[in-house]
Structure 1
């Protein structure tokens, strides 16, 4: 099996921690909330064995990557800028860019804003949706009310204090509560409760996550806290303003979309309609793949399926 190594590079003026394996064409793997480069441990080795240079950074605000204190430095322009700078720092001209959850948003927008640098893009969990004509926060408030979890995250210091009271317990509930087979939940914080009340309190570890895996995440978030990751949510309004030049723009590079059929992001959506909407916005979409029995944590719940799909897609380019 290929070996995963770690190093720090300077990109976009900051120190970025990388996990990487293999040699060959570059495949960048971007994680979401609340994750780390560690969430791509299976794909790093699998892609290396398939002949690629697989690189997973700790994203801005996470892990051992240098993180700014100012919430305004977590806009989509900053996050895409980090990816652009990282491609250059790794000595590559272009890359396949794959992302999960918030990392998927960054991957899609890197392909949108800098198609010259992206051989192909893979989004997981979060499909690409062109910029809407309405600001996101008022739209969420009209649909879900003031206690929708993304609105709950807007208050600085509030959600992170709740999550930090018991970091391993918080992560356990988050991972287990949105895995395949977990009960469906309404993403609205109950009256008198907190964000963690969306998830069962006595959740056991899902089969894809070991106690040692959980300890890696818990150690990292105990050291850094959750503010960096939550700051991505706190720029939803700013991102809508900043992406005005890309209103209704399409992603034009070759693309692939993967999600778990039980992922709360797409659960209940008609697969045919999801695929059709994606193809209108991403005209070179190769496929929409919904993984049976899989929940939100796509690349960790179905490591073999995701690695195979990534390798096949990258080879096809």
Structure 2
């Protein structure tokens, strides 16, 4: 078994992706969210690799050390699922267990729904399995939370991009630490006439799960893209309505492979998905192995509670091995 995380570049679907990988055995893909990178899985590599798995975490298209296609339309959910399916083949595997957090969870759920032949099992952290091909969401989000809701704020090309890229380290520190500084889950809403980070001030100290070295690692990878440091990730949000239109033929698909869902009780997603809605969404997982709720845990699930997340993943993987 490789005893260290190794790095290399591959090309899938015409896009160069950076991979971090460790271990040998059945393939486990780890998909990060926004604004993160492969590094958000730093606590998962060794435990999963030691258990006999080949662990691969890409920087997804547009992020960190991976290439950043120019066109906004190059970041639809179909492109992202296509990257995962092509990556499985590129890695010489017939199937993979796909694990995702935040946006990575959306990609993981969609890959499992659209290509169950390639997915042995799927785990989503933070974001539940929203259906593919539902109604375009932006109008409903604006009606519910206003134009200041962060996903609506992201829609204008260049605006959030410039604000976040002005100081990459500060932006990452403020988002990772300040989206819910008091532990109360609530939507992230920009005040009228304000800027994106107005509601997330610099923290007085870092949380126990995040160090200055961690921030430096994230920031160094993001800074590679200069004033477009965050543009790739923001372009994912700029395809929300387009995703619904493109995936309309697949509306109603359920996730028919074994599944695990884990989320923190203080996750901001909880403010947007009440318990009855969550129960309905988890009903799309007929082979749900477990729904893990993590107390005193916010949005950054696998970084905040690595021991519990690793234990849940290993238990899930064992069930897949029979």
TM-score (norm 2): 0.93
Q: How far apart are 1:187 and its partner, in Å?
A: 1.8
Task: Report what 1:122 is aligned to.
Answer: 123
- The equivalent position to 1:312 in structure 2, one of 306, 315, 320, is 315
Contact 1:253 1:284 in 2 (8 A): yes
Q: Take 1:140 and 1:129, find their aligned partners in 2: how far apart are those partners? A: 14
Task: Report what 1:295 is aligned to.
Answer: 298
Instruction: Flag the 1:250–1:176 CA change in 2: closer, same or farther, 3 A.
Output: same
- The equivalent position to 2:231 in structure 1, one of 227, 232, 239, is 227
Q: How far apart are 1:38 and its partner, in Å?
A: 0.6
Task: Report what 1:42 is aligned to.
Answer: 43
**CA deviation profile, 1:18-76 (whole Å, cap 9, x unmatched):** 11111010000000100010111111111001110010000000111122111100000
- Which runs of structure 2 are paired with 1:140-289 in the superposition (5 Å)? 140-178=141-179, 182-224=183-225, 225-267=229-271, 271=275, 273=276, 276-289=279-292
Task: Report what 2:60 is aligned to.
Answer: 59
SS at match of 1:9: strand
SS at match of 1:96: strand
**CA deviation profile, 1:94-146 (whole Å, cap 9, x unmatched):** 00000000000000000011000000000111001224753211111111112
SS at match of 1:115: coil
**CA deviation profile, 1:203-255 (whole Å, cap 9, x unmatched):** 42111011010001111222221000000000001001011011122111110
Q: How far apart are 1:268 and its partner, in Å?
A: 8.0
Contact 1:173 1:203 in 2 (8 A): no
Q: Take 1:180 and 1:256, find their aligned partners in 2: how far apart are those partners? A: 27
What count of residue pairs does the alignment treat as equivalent?
316
Q: Take 1:94 and 1:213, find their aligned partners in 2: how far apart are those partners? A: 31
Q: Take 1:52 and 1:247, find their aligned partners in 2: how far apart are those partners? A: 33
SS at match of 1:266: helix
Q: How far apart are 1:201 and its partner, in Å?
A: 3.4
SS at match of 1:122: strand
Q: Take 1:250 and 1:145, find their aligned partners in 2: how far apart are those partners? A: 31
Answering whether residue 106 of structure 2 is matched by residue 102 of structure 1, we say no
Query: Structure 1, unaligned stretches of length 5 or more?
Result: none
Query: Structure 2, unaligned stretches of length 5 or more?
Result: none
Q: Take 1:154 and 1:203, find their aligned partners in 2: how far apart are those partners? A: 30
Task: Report the aligned-residue RMSD.
Answer: 1.8
TM-score (norm 1): 0.95
Q: How far apart are 1:4 and its partner, in Å?
A: 0.9
Q: How far apart are 1:200 and its partner, in Å?
A: 3.0
